[in-house]
Amino acid sequence: MSNNTIKILVKKPDVGKRLDILLNQSVDTLTRTSIKNLIKTKKVRVNKKEIIFPAKKVKLGEMIELDHIIENPIFPKAQKIPLNIIFEDNDILIINKPAGMVVHPGAGNFDNTLVNALIYKYKKNLSDINGLLRPGIVHRLDKDTSGALVIAKNNFSHSELGKQFGSHSIKRKYLALVWGVIRPLYGKISTLLSRSKKNRQLMAVSELRGKKAVTNYKTIKVFENKNIPRISLIEFYLETGRTHQIRAHLDYKNTSLLGDKKYKKKFIRFKNITKDFESKLSLLNGQALHAQTLGLIHPVKGEIIHFKANLPAGFKNLLSFLEKVSD
C-alpha cells in the first residue's frame, strides 16, 4: 500500500461543478462513492482547508488535495527513451512528442510512454500536482498526434501553466493533411463536444450537452491530381483544448485526417492512385496532425515565449510528395 496525494487546480471549464463530480472526472482510479467517503472522512482539502460536503461548488483557481491509499500501487518505471527537446530551463521543458507515443501511463499503456522517459531523465525533478502517474504533465496530445508539449519541472510552474490553459491563453497552432476540401476554406467551428453515443471512445458534436469547443482553421493549399485524391493542407488554431477537438470537428465537417484510424470516413476509397502515394501514406506514423507552434507566458520569468516543433519525417515526406505531383 502507498499513501498518495492528488492535487487538482480548478480551471475555468470546471468552475461551479460539485466537488465530488470534479474529483470523479479527474481521478480514474476512484468511484464517486469512494470519493464521497474520502470527503466525509476529511481526506479532501480545498486551499488547505478540510471539506466534508461533497456538494460544495468549486471556484476558479482553488487547489484541491485528495489523500487516499493505493492498494498495490503501480509506479511508472524509468525507461531510457530519447526525447526531442526544443527548450529547457529550471522550470519548464518543451518537447517535440513523436506520433505513436502515449503521454502518460493508463489502461493497457504502462510502458514506453512520455512519462517513462521523463522519469528516467529527470527522476523526481518534476511537478507532482497530477499524482504518481503523471509527473510534470500539464496537458496532453493524442497518442498518434505529434508536436510541441510543455512539461512542468516544479509545482509552481505547473500551477501557473494550468491557469493559462484554464483561461485558454495558451497559443497553439496545428498543421494537418485532410481528405477533401472544407467549405468555406477558412473559418471558425464553434460547437459543444461530448462523448459519442455510438462509441464512447470518440467525441462528437452535440446540440444539447457537452463542453464548448472552438476551432479556427485556414486552408493553406489544396492538392489535386488525377492520380491522387483531393487533399487539403490546413492550419488549425485552437481557442479551447478539448479531447479529440480537431478530429471531432473534422468529423462534423464530414471528413477526417490522413492516417486517422478512429475517425476515418467510410466513403474514403483509394481509386486511381499511384503506388508512390500509397507508399508515402503507409509510412505516415499515426495521423497527419502536428502541434507545430506553442506560445505561452513563462511561469516564472513572465516573458511571452514561442516554440516551433519540426514536422515528423512521415508527414514531411508525404507533404513534399503532394507538392510535386499536384496540379
Q: Which of 14, 20, 128, 142 is catalytic?
A: 142
Contacting residues for 77 by C-beta, under 8 A, at least 6 apart: 111, 116, 119
User: What's the gap between Cα 33 and its chain centre?
Assistant: 28
What is the Cα–Cα distance from 38 to 53, expressed in whole angstroms? 10
DSSP state of 143: T
**How is the beta sheet containing 44-46 ordered, strand by strand?**
2-9, 63-70, 44-46, 49-50
Q: What is the DSSP letter of 11?
A: P
Virtual torsion, Cα 227, 229, 232, 233, nearest 10 deg: -50
Take residue 200 and report the three cell numbers written for it: 464512447
C-alpha span between 312 and 64 (Å, rounded): 38
Phi then psi for residue 237, to 5 deg, are: -120, 120
Cβ–Cβ < 8 Å for 235, 217: yes
142 is known as an active-site residue: yes
Q: What is the CA radius of gyration of the chain?
A: 21
Strands (E), 114-181: 146-152, 171-179
For residue 194, list its beta bridge partners. Answer: 204
Residue 315 and residue 290 in contact, taking contact as beta carbons nearer than 8 Å:
yes
Q: Residues with Cβ < 8 Å from 35, sequence gap 6 or more? A: 20, 23, 24, 27, 54, 66
Using CA atoms, how far apart are residues 148 and 167, in angstroms rounded to an integer? 19
Question: Which residues pair with residue 87 across a beta bridge?
Answer: 94
Residue 197's CB is within 10 A of a number of other CB atoms, namely 9
Q: Which residues are catalytic?
A: 142
